[in-house]
Amino acid sequence: MDKLHEEIWTRCLNVIKDNISPNSFKTWFAPIKPISLRENVLKIQVPSQFFYEWLEEHYIDLLKKTIKKELGANGRLEYSIVMDGSYSSSSSKPYTVIAPTQNKKVLKNPPINMPLEINKDKGESIPNPFIIPGLKKLNIDPQLIESYTFDNFLQGDCNRLARSAGLAVGQNPGKTSFNPLLIYSANGLGKTHLAHAIGIEVKNNFPDKTVLYVSSEQFTNQFVDSVRNNNQNDFIHFYRMIDVLIVDDIHCLAKKEKTQDVFFHIFNHLHQSGKQIVITADQPPVEMQGIEPRLLSRFKWGLSADLQVPDLETRIAILEQKLYNDSVDMPKEVVELIATSITTNIREMEGALVSILAQSSMNKKEITPELASKVIEKFVKSTPREITIEYIQKVICDYFNIPHDKLNSKTRKREIVQARQLSMYFAKSFTKSSLAAIGSKCGNKDHATVLHACKTVKNLTDTDKNFRKYVDELENIIKIKL
């Protein structure tokens, strides 16, 4: 008799399995655990309030028929909602829901800090960490920087896909195939700017939608506070209300298992509710370390778009637009000097521009190439010197006396292929570029080709003395730039 509840639930599952898809069964019924059977009441354990609500909303009729089939007309189902330990403190008590019910859900032994009912029209009863003072209605400060718009996010080949996808999301949030939209790049190439631009576009087109930009660090700190204050449910329910959630630097959740777990559940609810999710990272999902596979798989549901290092013409255009927006004039040769001196970080390039303007204004000196050179020299010296993929390719082409256009051509000549593999290997070693970005600049190869090239170089280095000599000499030449 002790196992009767398991036998009954197994029979129920056999009926349910025949009436829904395998994926739905795996997602919503496989995680359920039978607990007990008393007086025709079968008690089952589900992992979250959201899980319970989904079952009640989508499978209530099937559950009713199945329970009555197995337990008779008086059969009932009781849920025990036990929040997963990763975002519910060990002292939290489970609470149960008697179902099926007629008109409403009846809670037995609800937790003390269970959130009150949410009603956007009548007001907000859940603690709101982003509330705008003086407003009773649900009003969340979106935390968007007003100057980070699409108008001043210049489009070029380096960002065309990401910008176009971001604009589409801003004009139709949650309704495109770009959900989630993951924007990734090295530091200083504009992913935060683009993330804010999407949020601003949504607010302009849909003033009633709730938009929130939050950094991963801010999200983590709020979650930690919710655990400390024993109000994790309020935290989860608050984020479930957001229409467009923008999370910056998602890679910073690496190895934070509990925070990842709660974000996973929030992500699922928002996505299944048709809400828009935008995230930024310094790498594509395939290269992220310390992020749980189930989260990475969800990041791949939508579109992953990268921002690459802009070419010279785009860098000049970015500087000229900034000067135009600030109503400032600067000689063209100075603009070109900045753009050619700082090549891999837009933020640093704009910082140099501001420094030159400041030096000119404070010292009442005319902006000349000489003045700019002095400022740029000091500015570049104060920041780490970055090695670019282009620089690595030039070193390798010079070393082997290979024309640059041959290096990235489709030829399968052994010496060209080997040089290309070396350029990929050193690009991975000396730059922060993603495998996809490296591949795109090395003959439009995919990330798998780059990985293969790196393994090939490593194997040859370990087994071929002459090849190891090439690698050592090239490495020393490349390091000269550091």
* Cα–Cα separations (whole angstroms), residue 227 to 131, 233, 237, 267: 20, 9, 14, 19
Token pair for 115: 């959130």
**What pLDDT sits at residue 84?**
41
Q: Minimum mean pLDDT among 56-60, 80-84, 287-291, 453-457: which range?
A: 80-84
Query: Is the pLDDT score of 377 beyond 90?
Result: no
* Cα–Cα separations (whole angstroms), residue 375 to 303, 320, 355, 363, 370: 40, 18, 7, 13, 9
**What pLDDT sits at residue 279?**
97
Query: Is the pLDDT score of 93 beyond 50?
Result: no
Of the CA atoms within 13 Å of residue 230, those in its CB half-sphere come to: 8
Burial of 426 (0-12, 13-18, 19+ CB in 10 A): buried
Q: Which range is most confident: 165-169, 301-305, 360-364, 385-389?
A: 165-169
CATH architecture observed for domain 160-306:
3-Layer(aba) Sandwich (3.40)
Whole-angstrom Cα distance, residue 419 to residue 431?
17
Of the CA atoms within 13 Å of residue 346, those in its CB half-sphere come to: 29
pTM for the whole structure: 0.53
Q: Minimum mean pLDDT among 61-70, 98-107, 349-358, 467-476: which range?
A: 98-107
Whole-angstrom Cα distance, residue 357 to residue 350?
11
* Cα–Cα separations (whole angstroms), residue 46 to 112, 275, 329, 419: 19, 24, 64, 56
Whole-angstrom Cα distance, residue 456 to residue 452?
6
**What pLDDT sits at residue 48?**
67
Q: Minimum mean pLDDT among 23-27, 74-78, 127-131, 427-431: which range?
A: 127-131
**What pLDDT sits at residue 127?**
52
Q: What are phi and psi of 211, to 5 degrees?
A: -110, 140
Mean pLDDT (the chain) is: 81
Helix, strand, or coil (residue 77): strand
**What pLDDT sits at residue 29?**
87
Considering the chain, tell me which residue range(s) the CATH 1.10.1750.10 domain(s) occupy. Answer: 389-479
Contact by Cβ (8 Å): 197, 148: yes
Considering the chain, tell me which residue range(s) the CATH 1.10.8.60 domain(s) occupy. Answer: 312-381
Mean pLDDT of the 436-447 span: 84
**What pLDDT sits at residue 79?**
82
Query: Is the pLDDT score of 194 beyond 90?
Result: yes
**What pLDDT sits at residue 199?**
96
Q: How confident is the model at residue 82 (pLDDT cuts 50, 70, 90)?
A: low
Of all residues in the chain, the percent with pLDDT exceeding 90 is 24
Query: Which ranges constitute the DSSP H helices of 290-403?
Result: 293-299, 312-325, 332-341, 346-363, 369-381, 389-400
Q: Minimum mean pLDDT among 114-123, 162-171, 264-273, 346-355: which range?
A: 114-123
Buried b (16+ CB within 10 A) or exposed e, 230-264: ebbbbbbbbbbbbbbbbbbbbbbbeebebbbbbbb
Q: How confident is the model at residue 446 (pLDDT cuts 50, 70, 90)?
A: confident
Considering the chain, tell me which residue range(s) the CATH 3.40.50.300 domain(s) occupy. Answer: 160-306
Beta strands 41-46; 33-38: pairing state: antiparallel
Whole-angstrom Cα distance, residue 275 to residue 176?
11
pLDDT, tens digit (0-9, with 9 covering 90-100), for 105-159: 333 333 323 332 333 333 344 455 554 443 333 567 888 988 899 988 888 778 8
Q: What are phi and psi of 296, to 5 degrees?
A: -60, -40
Considering the chain, tell me which residue range(s) the CATH 3.30.300.180 domain(s) occupy. Answer: 4-108
Contact by Cβ (8 Å): 126, 116: yes
Q: Residues near 332 by Cβ (< 8 Å), separated by ≥ 6?
A: none
Mean pLDDT of the 422-450 span: 86
Q: Which of 3.80.10.10, 3.40.630.30, 2.40.50.140, 3.30.300.180 is the CATH number of 4-108?
A: 3.30.300.180
Sign of CA dihedral 214, 215, 221, 223: positive
Query: 291: closest CA among 249, 247, 262, 255?
Result: 255
CATH number of 312-381: 1.10.8.60
Q: Pick the more confident residue, 173 or 91.
A: 173
**What pLDDT sits at residue 50?**
62
**What pLDDT sits at residue 386?**
67
Q: State the fold for domain 389-479.
A: Chromosomal Replication Initiator Protein Dnaa; Chain: A; (1.10.1750)
Give the N- to C-terminal CA distance of the chain in Å, as an integer.
74
Q: How confident is the model at residue 248 (pLDDT cuts 50, 70, 90)?
A: very high
Mean pLDDT of the 384-391 span: 74
Mean pLDDT of the 238-265 span: 92
pLDDT, tens digit (0-9, with 9 covering 90-100), for 389-420: 888 988 898 888 888 888 888 888 888 999 99
Q: How confident is the model at residue 367 (pLDDT cuts 50, 70, 90)?
A: confident
Q: Pick the more confident residue, 315 or 197.
A: 197
